Amino acid sequence: MVGSEPADEIRERHREARERARSMGPFRAWIDGERVEASDGATAETRDPVVDEPIASVPACGPEDVDRAVEAAAAGFADEWSEVTPAERSRRLFEWTDVLADHVEELAFLECLDTGKPRADARGEIEGATDTLEYYASVCRSQSGDQIPAREDVHLFTRQEPFGVVGQITPWNFPAWAAAWKLGPALAAGNASVLKPSASSPLSTIRMAELTEGILPDGVVNVVPGAGRDVGQPLTEHPDVAKVSFTGSTAVGRGVMKAAAERVAPVTLELGGKSPFIVFPDADLETAVDAVAAGIFYSTGEICDAFSRALVHEDVLAEFTDRFVERAESYVLGDPLAEDTTMGPLTTRDQFGKVSDYVDAGRREGATLLTGGGPPDDPALADGWYFEPTVFGDVDNDMRIAREEIFGPVQTIIPFGSYEEAIEIANDTDYGLAAGIGTERTSLVHNAAADLEAGLVYVNEYGPILPEAPYGGYKDSGIGRDLGQEALDHYRQTKTVYVNLDDPSL
């Protein structure tokens, strides 16, 4: 369904919101503890996806700016951060999270305006970002090496040491939360960061970096906005960037990996997905419908672990489908600044075009469009990149809409008849980020969780995502993990020290 506000009210609210956002600026690159312009003065606009109007100008940085940021990070690391104890790093990270907690509403407002997320969702994600940084502030002090009792005449131990300068690239769909996923473990391990946010939605990330002022040493956190070819590629290829972490599409991730391989730099890649949710015949259908709907319609489907393939047992296919279509049609499309909106627009014009093309492909391939399929029939939303919750039935797993990542609110329902068939269909994909299981049987939970080729398995829910647990995928969904203690390990190098001991004689 759509909201009931007239177009002129929405446009006026967003005009005022954009003025408010600009008053928080200017939004500039954050390098060496200062707001800076791009070296050549170039700028780009971030746009409001509700009315397709510019929000603010930000620097369109380039290779010279990456050099400046890397130099600042190297100096910040060498001059102070590398000498700070884990206890002091922890204290400063906690101080930063306290400041962020005081700015939750401001950051959520920027995230909502920049991405089109409903305000409640944006608020929850800012709180998730703060929680993630708090987690790494906590585990920062627990870092330790090992003493290895190999021989009595050798004192053998390991040290965990930071890389130094790390390069981090975050996506446009979860700007603040993704930045916290990157910065938390990197800073806790003792590194300095140069982070490139998406050019489409950089505002909340820039503001988060500004809020480190007076807390973290200058140069330890640097944010350089700009296009991938102008900032992301030079950052990945930079000889003084010792480690790279990237979240984004699989196609771009391959390029990041190749560039890093040229100089033997380690990478963490969190890439695409085509995640299945298996609805077994004993599943509580209300619970399953809620889980699958949340997994494909949250954030307008612009989520890498989206449950974009609902695999449903033939015994419950008809009832599940009817319930799911009804659930899809219950979402309230409207102004994301309004608290009653449950689905906002897609974030960019390009993404709207991509989703539209996939829906057309699904029709051509013979899938049955059950609901949605395009922008809502509401003049008040005509200027934004809105797309109705869309459901396809009669889908075969070989169709493009079942194999390729759409990154929009498009669900495919695929029937199966046996446990073996369900697992086979679920694993018949190039991706392996997430999977879901709907069942009331413990044996099915444990067996399916073991058999599914995915880095994350959700049971009867979509989420939660907690900072304590590693997050990442199999196959084309990436390498390494964000979150958890495992992410901390990705930002440290192990040094083994042999101390040879003489006989104890006087």
Closest to 182 in 3D by CA, of 256, 241, 269: 269
Whether 332 and 461 have beta carbons less than 8 Å apart is answered as no
Please tell me which residue in 111, 237, 304, 405 is annotated as part of the active site.
304
| The token pair that represents 398 in the structure block | 């070989």
Q: What angle do CA 262, 264, 269 make, to 5 degrees?
A: 90
As a whole number of angstroms, the distance between CA 188 and CA 211 comes to: 17
Closest to 30 in 3D by CA, of 242, 241, 213, 233: 213
* Eight-state DSSP code of residue 217: P
Whether 186 and 134 have beta carbons less than 8 Å apart is answered as no
Closest to 165 in 3D by CA, of 60, 256, 91, 239: 239
- CB neighbours of residue 315 within 10 Å: 13
Residues contacting 342, CB < 8 A, separation 6+: 118, 331, 332, 333
Per DSSP, the three-state class of 81 is helix
Q: Which H or E element spans position 158?
A: strand 154-162
| The token pair that represents 190 in the structure block | 């003792």
Residues contacting 317, CB < 8 A, separation 6+: 413, 415
What residues are paired with 333 via a beta bridge?
A: 2, 343
Helices (H), 281-346: 285-297, 317-328
Angle between helices 7-23 and 104-115 (to 10 degrees): 130
- Is 304 an annotated catalytic residue? yes
The answer, yes or no, to whether the previous bond of 118 is cis (omega within 30 of 0) is no
| The token pair that represents 57 in the structure block | 């100008």
Under the phi-then-psi rule, with left for phi > 0, alpha for psi from -120 to 50, and beta for the rest, what region is 326?
alpha
As a whole number of angstroms, the distance between CA 4 and CA 356 comes to: 25
As a whole number of angstroms, the distance between CA 64 and CA 114 comes to: 26
What residues are paired with 58 via a beta bridge?
A: 44
Q: What angle do CA 497, 500, 506 make, to 5 degrees?
A: 140
As a whole number of angstroms, the distance between CA 73 and CA 294 comes to: 39
Token pair 């069942």 in the structure block, residue = 439
- CB neighbours of residue 144 within 10 Å: 10
- Is 270 an annotated catalytic residue? yes
DSSP E strand boundaries for 2-86: 29-31, 34-36, 43-48, 53-59
Please tell me which residue in 270, 302, 388, 405 is annotated as part of the active site.
270
Phi then psi dihedrals of residue 52, to 5 deg: 55, 50
The set of catalytic residues is 270, 304
